[in-house]
């Protein structure tokens, strides 16, 4: 039985081969080659679908499918790619000043060509400046339409570009898979009324990829009536495995099924090492790779049936290829000597590599020493050794210590990032959690280095519960690194401007935070060994620990004020919304500049709003100005934070509001000092604690009672200041070495 099936298959394949040899079979028509399973003439083709008619009525040979009436002009047939290129009509929709004058929307169907489909290597292209183009069709044995389309619109003429088909003057879209028929639809919503002078028509067509390049001249007149379109084809409607053993199976001899094609039907290809027509028996013949140079042999190529081999010359062994082991000489005395030399060379290379790494390490050590001296390390060591009795002196860390603390500055350790640098969370060898500030590169001078060292020493000696502690620094990098105590609960800004967090910050807590911040600034102005003006007081630079205790941070913009001076001339630096208007106009920095910024912080605590926001109405953009106006108009309750859930305005809020008004006065001389502000807030906090015994006592209670005995000034809330709404400011740095403010507020 199997022998009978084999004989039938051989006879069928032989019939396919002999059909091409028949004198009735044309091998070409015009410039198109006709190879089996295609044919022109009786018995020359596999089935009627593959019949090619050669029409000579026009004086030249033109190949068509089946007969002249189908009008499917063939321009090429590819056996290896299983493709046929035909000329497909171009659809058009034309207008004049009155309206539509011509409409040609072609319909295409493969009809009886059941083994053919529209290739997905085609693109559906539309040309026009008011063109809505669509193509819809069906697959074999399906009753529902599928389709796609695109829109081409021009706008301005200078937007139209040659070669661009992205929707301006020309658009294109992929074609749905396995279409057996389709029709086109072209529409113009304004009938080209405004563009007739350069685009009277819309055009649409399917075209093979790479066979169309858009030109702007096509908008005025696209002369092509047909465009090349690809059809895919295969043999039959069953898979390769189902066709095997039948008399219809064509992949015989040195031909095999194309495993990359999944149907419908099947396709043949020549086996590796063979070339020819895989649909004709014994037409796939051996390729002589050695003769045509298609091999990888290093020395000699020997052709064999369906393949080739590489050989080595006498005295050599190996696979003989360029990409493999090649050919190596057989062992001999000379080879042993060469091997010895090679071994010596390897040892020499290892020694050179070791020496290079040693020198590189030495260079790195010298660079660290250079940076250490350049950044004032010796000066800092002298300052530290000169004050051995102090337990709070800054510690000098090494590069390795901080790398280990931050897991080599792992991105997961980043807790803050801004325009001036990055802050990492680190864990020191003694398990202390710290914040490590790594600033960006900046220029540096000897004066700045001395100022930086002086500031590090002073800040490290600041011992106030409401100031973030500077633990030390690392001077072995080009830009020194600063190490601060780690404050875990984020910034005050996070808590008053985040709706979910702000509910936990009650008025009593806000008042305590304001009091603690004022105490810290008062300490910096009045009690530090050298007075310090913070110069960037804002909620982002006030950190909170787990108990909501305030910690003033980020001294990157701070200035040290000699005791014999009351003001400094500097380039204006700060944050819009918090800048002292007097400082902004005169460039004269005083401790009253911090008072103004603190006044804005008080207003933020009262209102829950940001100091500057362009999302608010124009009259409310600057919070300080709007607050002073509301206070003057007697509308304080309307601007208070709704999340405080107040039914009226308590006395302490009135007092804090009047204090904020004093802090926000334009003239610095009319503002209270930070010491006066701290005393006033301590008194308000103490009275609040007495009025609400259920509130847990603050650690500042006794200190507040003491300050209540001090005489204090009465503050008049009627004399409201007008704060300049600056639109921009310039920024400088106290130390371009490291002390630069960044987003984290550290």
Residues with catalytic annotation? 536
- Taking the alpha carbons of 250, 255, 257, 258 in that order, is the dihedral positive or negative? negative
CA 126 to CA 133: how far, in whole Å? Answer: 6
Q: Which of 581, 578, 586 is nearest to 603 (CA)?
A: 578
Return phi, psi of residue 661, to 5°. Answer: -60, -40
Q: Residues with Cβ < 8 Å from 51, sequence gap 6 or more?
A: 38, 39, 40, 45, 65, 66
CA 64 to CA 53: how far, in whole Å? Answer: 5
- List the end-to-end C-alpha distance of the chain, in Å, as a whole number: 90
Cβ pair 573, 535 in contact under 8 A:
yes
CA 719 to CA 392: how far, in whole Å? Answer: 45
Describe the crossing of helices 333-374 and 377-385 by its angle, rounded to 10 degrees.
50
- Taking the alpha carbons of 369, 370, 376, 382 in that order, is the dihedral positive or negative? positive
Q: Which of 436, 447, 443 is nearest to 479 (CA)?
A: 443
Q: Annotate 656-674 with b (16+ C-beta within 10 A) or e (fewer).
A: bbbbbbbbbbbebeebbbb
Q: Which of 325, 315, 553 is nearest to 435 (CA)?
A: 553
Cβ pair 316, 328 in contact under 8 A:
yes
Tokens read off for 193: 């009324």
Ranges assigned E (strand) in 209-281: 226-233, 255-257, 268-270, 274-275
Q: Residues with Cβ < 8 Å from 250, sequence gap 6 or more?
A: 13, 16, 37, 46, 235, 268, 278, 279
Tokens read off for 408: 């080599």
Three-state SS annotation for 462-529: CCCCCECCEEEEECCCCCCEEEEECCCCCEHHHHHHCHHHHCCCCHHHHHHHHHHHHHHHHHHHHHCC
Tokens read off for 665: 């006065």
Neighbours of 386 (CB within 10 A): 11
Q: Which of 104, 110, 105 is nearest to 229 (CA)?
A: 110
Tokens read off for 518: 């004022």
Q: Are strands 395-397 and 421-427 parallel, antiparallel or unpaired?
A: unpaired
Q: Which of 679, 684, 661 is nearest to 671 (CA)?
A: 661
Q: CA-CA distances (angstroms) from residue 510 to 493, 513, 578, 608, 681?
A: 12, 5, 19, 11, 11
Q: Residues with Cβ < 8 Å from 361, sequence gap 6 or more?
A: none
Q: Are strands 395-397 and 470-474 parallel, antiparallel or unpaired?
A: parallel
Q: Which uninterrupted H or E stretch holds 418?
A: strand 414-418
CA 660 to CA 601: how far, in whole Å? Answer: 9
Q: Which uninterrupted H or E stretch holds 78?
A: strand 73-78
- Rounding to the nearest 10 degrees, give the CA dihedral for residues 313, 314, 315, 320: 30
Q: What angle do CA 726, 731, 732 make, to 5 degrees?
A: 150
């Amino acid at each position: 039985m199997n022998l009978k099936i084999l004989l039938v298959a051989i006879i069928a394949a032989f019939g396919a081969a002999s059909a091409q040899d028949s004198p009735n079979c044309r091998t070409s028509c015009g410039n198109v080659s006709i190879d089996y399973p295609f044919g022109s003439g009786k018995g020359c083709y596999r089935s009627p679908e593959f019949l090619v008619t050669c029409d000579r009525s026009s004086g030249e040979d033109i190949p068509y499918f089946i007969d002249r009436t189908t009008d499917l002009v063939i321009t090429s047939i590819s056996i290896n790619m299983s493709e046929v290129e035909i000329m497909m009509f171009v659809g058009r929709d034309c207008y004049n000043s009155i309206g539509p004058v011509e409409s040609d929307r072609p319909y295409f169907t493969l009809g009886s060509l059941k083994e053919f489909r529209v290739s997905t290597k085609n693109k559906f292209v539309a040309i026009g400046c008011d063109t809505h183009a669509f193509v819809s069709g069906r697959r074999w044995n399906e009753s529902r339409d599928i389709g796609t389309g695109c829109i081409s619109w021009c706008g301005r003429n200078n937007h139209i570009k040659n070669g661009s088909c992205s929707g301006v003057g020309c658009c294109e879209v992929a074609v749905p898979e396995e279409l057996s028929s389709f029709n086109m639809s072209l529409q113009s919503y304004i009938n080209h009324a405004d563009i007739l002078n350069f685009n009277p028509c819309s055009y649409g067509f399917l075209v093979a990829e790479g066979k169309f390049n858009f030109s702007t001249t096509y908008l005025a007149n696209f002369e092509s009536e047909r465009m090349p379109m690809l059809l895919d084809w295969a043999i039959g409607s069953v898979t390769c495995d189902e066709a095997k053993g039948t008399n219809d199976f064509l992949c015989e001899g040195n031909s095999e099924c194309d495993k990359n094609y999944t149907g419908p039907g099947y396709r043949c290809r020549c086996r590796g090492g063979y070339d020819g027509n895989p649909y004709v028996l014994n037409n796939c013949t051996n390729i002589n790779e050695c003769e045509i140079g298609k091999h990888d042999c290093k020395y000699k190529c020997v052709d064999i049936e369906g393949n080739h081999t590489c050989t080595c010359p006498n005295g050599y062994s190996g696979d003989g290829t360029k990409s493999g082991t090649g050919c190596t000489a057989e062992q001999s005395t000379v080879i042993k000597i060469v091997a010895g030399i090679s071994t010596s060379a390897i040892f020499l290379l290892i020694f050179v590599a070791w020496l290079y790494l040693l020198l590189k390490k030495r260079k790195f050590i010298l660079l660290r020493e250079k940076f250490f001296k350049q950044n004032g390390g010796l000066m800092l060591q002298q300052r530290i050794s000169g004050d051995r009795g102090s337990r709070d002196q800054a510690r000098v860390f090494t590069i390795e210590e901080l790398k280990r603390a931050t897991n080599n500055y792992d991105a997961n350790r980043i807790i803050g990032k801004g325009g001036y640098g990055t802050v990492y969370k680190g864990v020191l060898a003694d398990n202390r959690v710290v914040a490590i500030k790594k600033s960006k590169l900046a220029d540096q001078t000897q004066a700045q280095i001395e100022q930086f060292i002086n500031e590090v020493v002073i800040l490290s000696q600041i011992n106030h519960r409401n100031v973030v502690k500077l633990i030390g620094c690392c001077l072995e990098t080009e830009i020194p690194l600063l190490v601060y105590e780690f404050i875990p609960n984020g910034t005050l800004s996070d808590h008053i401007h985040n709706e979910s967090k702000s509910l936990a910050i009650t008025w009593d807590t806000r008042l305590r935070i304001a009091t603690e911040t004022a105490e810290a600034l008062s300490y910096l102005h009045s009690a530090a060994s050298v007075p310090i003006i913070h110069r960037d007081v804002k909620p982002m630079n006030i950190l909170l620990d787990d108990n909501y205790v305030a910690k003033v941070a980020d001294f990157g913009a701070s200035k040290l004020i000699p005791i014999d001076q009351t003001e400094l001339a500097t380039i204006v630096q700060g944050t819009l919304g918090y800048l002292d208007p007097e400082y902004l106009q005169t460039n004269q920095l005083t401790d009253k500049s911090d008072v103004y910024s603190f006044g804005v912080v008080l207003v933020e605590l009262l209102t829950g709003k940001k100091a500057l926001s362009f999302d608010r109405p124009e009259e409310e953009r600057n919070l300080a100005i709007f607050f002073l106006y509301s206070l003057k108009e007697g509308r304080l309750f309307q601007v208070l934070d709704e999340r405080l859930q107040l039914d009226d305005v308590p006395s302490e809020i009135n007092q804090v509001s009047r204090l904020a008004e004093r802090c926000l006065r334009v003239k610095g001389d009319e503002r209270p000092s930070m010491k006066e502000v701290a005393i006033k807030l301590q008194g308000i906090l103490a009275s609040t604690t007495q009025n609400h015994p259920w509130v847990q006592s603050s650690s500042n209670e006794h200190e507040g009672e003491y300050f209540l005995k001090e005489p204090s000034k009465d503050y008049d809330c009627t004399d409201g200041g007008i704060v300049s709404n600056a639109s921009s400011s310039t920024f400088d740095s106290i130390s371009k070495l490291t002390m630069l403010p960044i987003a984290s507020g550290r």
